[in-house]
Amino acid sequence: MPSKLLDKYFRMDKLPHIWCPGCGHGIIMKAIVDAIDKMGLEKDKVCIVSGIGCSSRAPGYMDFNTLHTTHGRALAFATGIKMANPELHVIVVTGDGDSAAIGGNHLIHASRRNIDITTIIFNNNIYGMTGGQYSPTTPTGEKGTTAPYGNIDKDFDLCKLSKAAGATYVGRATAYHAKMIKDLTIKGIQNKGFSIIESLSVCPTYYGRKNKKGDSPDMMKTLKNNTVNIKAVDKLDKNKLENKIIIGELYSSKEDEYTESYQKIIDSMQEGR
């Protein structure tokens, strides 16, 4: 029952959360906690770091070592934490504006270093906290308050970006596929390296209303209907894949992890004495 998880992992006196009715973020937050519970991680050894935006309010509700930082910088703070104490399971909670616009540089460099941080991107395709401006993941042609005639920017594929930059575990799921977020998060935390789980969320208040996407259940149905599990991709006709978003475990590899590599330098210095 959810109540058990609530009592165990949430700061009950900080709830209810600030998210709008119908927002997908709560589902993603719960899926992260599900993953931590399933893995049996010690709460004192989990550190959740966020930036600024709707998604970044999540850590405040979660009973771990939690850090709500500056806009876009969560991964940089998290890098310092992980370097200082590699025993901590460091999880970064961030949004599409936070991670891909103002924090884009930190995202590619954390990926490149393959530092053992698990990043969950709550992607709702819009700046929600400031009232619905277009973000780097707002699809081309869609509207935001700062794209009243339609967005002419191309949108980022954050999974491709992170993979290309060096992340060693890459997955994508949606708020409709909550169990998949949980499963990918477990694998992301287990991966000794930089992991990214892009979790597609819904923002009926701004993105939905501005783009006539219906209410939250409509948008959740869209998440269901517009996605294809990577395991099914080979079995489907190409024309059925058009405009579909691929979800599931997209990439996994083994590379040297950053803090372990640094520890080797430290160890070699001690041997030399």
Partner 1 sequence: MNNKAKLMQGNEACVEGALAAGMQFYAGYPITPSTEIAEISALKLPKIGGKFIQMEDEISSMAAIIGASLAGKKSMTATSGPGFSLKQENIGYAAITEVPCVIVNVQRGGPSTGLPTSPSQGDVMQARWGTHGDHPVIALTPASVKETFDLTVKAFNYAEKYRTPVMLILDEVIGHLREKVETPNKDEAEIIDRVKPTCDPKDYNPYEVEDGDIVPRMASFGDGYRYHVTGLVHDKTGFPSNDSTIAENLVNRLMNKIGDNIDDISNFEEYVLDDADIAIIAYGSTARSAKSAIQSAREQGIKVGLFRPVTIWPFLDKQIRHLTNKIKKVIVVEMNLGQYVLEVERVANKDCEVFRYGRVNGRLITPDEILEKIKGDVLCLANC
Residues in contact with partner 1, shown as a per-residue x/- string from 87 to 126 under the rule CB under 8 A: xx----------------xx--x-----------------
- Residue 12 interacts with partner 1 (CB under 8 A): yes or no: no
Q: Element (H or E) spanning 33, and its range?
A: helix 25-39
Task: Name, in order, each residue with C-beta under 8 angstroms of 85's C-beta and a sequence gap of 6 or more.
Answer: none
- Residue 68 interacts with partner 1 (CB under 8 A): yes or no: yes
In the beta sheet, which residues pair with residue 227? 245
CA distances from 57 to 78, 81, 245 (A): 16, 19, 27
What are the tokens at 49? 């770091």
Q: Choose, by CB under 8 A, the member of 23, 47, 93, 189 that binds partner 1.
A: 47
Residue 257 has φ and ψ, to the nearest 5°, of: -90, 145
- Residue 210 interacts with partner 1 (CB under 8 A): yes or no: no
For partner 1, the closer CB: 47 or 250: 47
Furthest-apart CA pair in the chain: how many Å?
68
Task: Name, in order, each residue with C-beta under 8 angstroms of 13's C-beta and a sequence gap of 6 or more.
Answer: none
The region of 32-40, 42-50, 143-151, 186-194 touching partner 1 under the rule CB under 8 A is 42-50
Q: Choose, by CB under 8 A, the member of 2, 8, 15, 83 that binds partner 1.
A: 83
For partner 1, the closer CB: 128 or 144: 128
Cα–Cα dist 36/182, whole Å: 9
Residues in contact with partner 1, shown as a per-residue x/- string from 248 to 267 under the rule CB under 8 A: --------------x--xx-
Which residues of the shown chain bind partner 1 in the complex (CB under 8 A)?
A: 11, 14, 43-45, 47, 49, 59-60, 63-70, 73, 75-85, 87-88, 105-106, 109, 262, 265-266, 269-270
